[in-house]
């Protein structure tokens, strides 16, 4: 049986990779994928901590709802990216100044 600490370390590594990708990259699609990596790291942590409590399934339930929120975030994010690409012909986040006056 794999200890919970290994899952937590994996979750921390994934979250760090996602955070660095979110902060460093300028492409909106890569930014969305980095956010997804961070949310999946949280899912790994939820399920890992749920392994200690076999009588309750709260970690798995939180993970399930987080997956549903991720799906909604992807749908809205891709719609924004598509509309940005139609207007500006680019997906770079530093050129997305459509809301400025």
| pLDDT per position as a tens digit, 22-44 | 999 888 889 999 999 999 999 99
pLDDT of residue 54: 76
pLDDT band per the 50, 70, 90 thresholds, residue 100: low
Asked if residue 99 is part of any domain, the answer here is no
Which residue range(s) make up the domain with 30? 4-89
pLDDT band per the 50, 70, 90 thresholds, residue 59: confident
pTM (two decimals): 0.84
CA 60 to chain centre: 17
Distance CA 58, CA 82 (A): 36
Specify the number of domains making up the chain.
Answer: 1
Asked if residue 94 is part of any domain, the answer here is no
Count the neighbouring beta carbons within 10 Å of the beta carbon of residue 57: 13
Asked if residue 95 is part of any domain, the answer here is no
**Which residue from 81, 77, 70 is spatially nearest to 41, judged by alpha carbons?**
70
CATH number of residue 52's parent domain? 1.10.287.3510
Phi, psi of 27 (to 5 degrees): -75, 130
Q: Report the run of H or E that residue 78 belongs to, with start and end.
A: helix 58-88
């Amino acid at each position: 049986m794999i200890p919970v600490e290994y899952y937590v370390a994996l979750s921390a590594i994934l979250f760090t990779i996602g955070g660095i990708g979110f902060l460093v990259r300028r492409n909106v699609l890569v930014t969305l994928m980095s956010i997804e990596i961070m949310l999946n790291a949280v899912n790994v942590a939820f399920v890992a901590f749920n392994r200690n409590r076999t009588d309750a399934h709260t970690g798995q339930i939180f993970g399930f709802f987080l997956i549903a929120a991720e799906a909604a975030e992807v749908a809205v994010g891709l719609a924004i990216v598509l509309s940005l690409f139609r207007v500006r012909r680019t997906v770079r986040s530093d050129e997305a100044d459509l809301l400025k006056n």
